[in-house]
Chains A and B, each alone.
Chain A
Amino acid sequence: MEAIEYKCPNCAADLKFDPESQKLSCEFCLSAFTEEELRALKESAGEKVPDEAELQTRQEFEEHTNLYQCASCGAQIMCDDRQTALFCYYCHNPVILSGKMTGEYKPSRLIAFKLNKDRALDTFRNWVKNRSFVPDDFRSEQQLDKITGLYVPFWVADCDIRADFSAIGKTIRSWTSGDYSYTETKEYRVVRRGMITANGIPADGESKIDDLLMESIEPFNYNELQPFSMTYLTGFFADKYDVDKTQVFPRIKTRASQAGKKIIRDSIGAYNTLSVNIEQYNIMKTDWEYMMLPVWFMTYNYNGTVYEFAINGQTGKLAGTPPLDKQKLRMFCTALGIGITAALYLLGGVFF
């Protein structure tokens, strides 16, 4: 009899039978499925055969995309062969041409830049305007010139999440009568079960860029996704992913669970206390898409720390950590302390 081997629908690792849960579980991403669920998923998936147009785009990508590598930080940058990348977007050191791209790095779709460089810089200037204690050269034109239009590789997942929630909710009402205070407590068993669908949860495939930074400029409007074409790369750079979908799955799982939790918690009424007995969010199915999303990216090296800034190239949402010139802040606070001391001393002469 032929043994059937099942692959994890989420991360493609081998599934093993877990006697305790009586399910086939993935040791890598900790997903668990019954055999029936796996069969149903396999039947619904089907095999996708690339069409001719897809093959042509893939060939065009391989022929016209140059790959550059930064000798300093190792970042790999793609751009079309009509332009030359000179500096690394991350560490601003020179990059060298290292070859052509292979078709597996061609994204299926992308969102084109809507925000041009001037508008991106205006957004940045407005953000930094009210931050008085950043280092002086942080606002300099030389620094602003480092902003780079970058297509960041993203793994975008559509997930079906099975939610299982059970808790004891309590409502409490108090009143007084005569010399006594009364408290009435009512207990309810709160149960929520169901399937939650989250579409388009993104996770960037670049290990250099901070994950939280990319999450902070979300969301992107997927209605503006376009099939990939080399045309969109002109004038911009694209990053080659170095984190595959298997590696980003734990992040997707965490975010999908957070999304599921929000839906479940929002469906629960106003209890005074809630004691949770069971709260599980299992991802039953994940559909992946590899795409590129537009980001204006800038780094600033200050006192040995690299500060990263990103602006959503579609919506203009900005995220980053403002660098703090502690010397400047110390001087200001010292002056403020002296001023308050002197003012109070002089006022003291009037009032005391």
Chain B
Amino acid sequence: MKKKLLFIIPALSLILAGAVVFNLFIRRGENLGKGFDGNSGGSCVLDTVGMFSYDQDILEELDSLAKEYSDKLDMNVCIYLSEEWYNSDNAVQIFCDDTYDEIYGEDTDGVFYMIDLSGSSPARDCISTSGKAVLLYEKELDDIFERINTHLPSGGNTAYPDDIDGAVREFLSQLERYGNKKPGIFSSYHDKSSGKYFYYRGGEFIVSKKRPPVANLLMLLITAVIGTVTGIITYFSIKSKYKFKTSANPGVYVSHEESRLTEQSDTFIRSYVTKHKIETSSSGGGSSSGGGHSHSGGHGGGVHHR
């Protein structure tokens, strides 16, 4: 069996190495990104709570502004005013991701911003990003939420049209601020629930189920280190077995019948007891939990508590 392994392992290694070369250099993942169709008409402010029933002008103005920014940023922009109550951050995120996909389609470029006007505390505002917006805004969400928050009341308090107006304008201005930044070649994002990667390759934005080349090389480097260490350990482990092993035991030549101990004593001399105080120490800990959901469109995003 050991002799067979001598041939099986190199053969298997060769096949696996071939698969890696194919995966690294030959197979190119399909670009699932659908980009932006250029139609800013789909971008809007959806007032499902009637916040602007008496201020239609403001709503129309905000709606135009959304379309304007959509043109500027080449992506869909949707602001959604909601009074639905969600019991968890995950539920809000799922709602936003799914609603975006329903309106604009999966893996299109765009953002969906939901302002929680349910009056509950905490209020759960949410931003869902899709397509290239994932790369542009994912790392900036905390900053964006922080800036918007200055315009909105804390959870449990009533929001007024002026608050929303300020928040929407701030949101759009933040989109423009970060939307003009070009992500670096090492920038990528992985949506674990959909298994999709978001990255730039040769100036083209890619949404793919295949890892980005930089991540591939990093993965190859890490696995190569593990493989090298395993190879070295195996080398020295096998080499150590090719040593002379002596098993001489002169004890077998002792004649127990002829040998005799003339003195064999174990005499008690003294005893003593030492005493030490036991040092006590305390320790603490914590726990964390997480959750997720499954949807086919790849998203980034986050929920913010007010």
Contact = CB atoms under 8 A, between A and B. Distances in A.
B102 to A, nearest CB: 30
Interface stretch (A16-24, A26-34, A97-105, A341-349): A341-349
Interface string A316-352: 0001111110100111111111111111111011001
Interface string B263-288: 11111111111111110000000000
Interface residues of A, number: 74
B49 interface: no
Interface stretch (A67-75, A229-237, A258-266): A258-266
Contacts of B271: 184-187
B223 interface: yes
Contact of A184 (B10, B243, B273): B273
A168 interface: yes
B26 interface: no
B259 A200 contact: no
A192 B234 contact: no
A337 B277 contact: no
16 contacts: A132-B2, A180-B277, A183-B276, A188-B266, A188-B269, A193-B262, A212-B244, A218-B252, A262-B250, A263-B259, A321-B242, A337-B227, A339-B227, A340-B223, A341-B226, A349-B211
A215 B266 CA distance: 35
A21 B141 CA distance: 91
Contacts of A176: 278
Given A331-B10, A337-B228, A169 B238 contact: no
Interface in B240-270: 241-248, 250-255, 258-270
Interface string A65-93: 00000000000000000000000000000
Contacts, number: 220
Given A198-B250, A199-B255, A262-B250, A346 B19 contact: yes
A183 B16 CA distance: 59
A189 interface: yes
Interface of B: 2-3, 5-6, 9-10, 12-14, 16-17, 19-20, 23, 211, 219-220, 223-224, 226-228, 230-232, 234-235, 238-239, 241-248, 250-255, 258-278
A179 interface: yes
A194 to B, nearest CB: 4
Given A269-B266, A333-B235, A344-B227, A132 B17 contact: no
B278 A215 contact: no
Contacts of A131: 241-242
A248 to B, nearest CB: 14
Contacts of B230: 336-337, 340
Contacts of B2: 130, 132
B235 A330 contact: yes
Given A218-B248, A333-B235, A197 B269 contact: no
B231, B239, B243, B252 interface centre (most CB from chain A within 10 Å) = B231
Contacts of A185: 271-274
Given A201-B253, A215-B246, A336-B234, A195 B226 contact: no
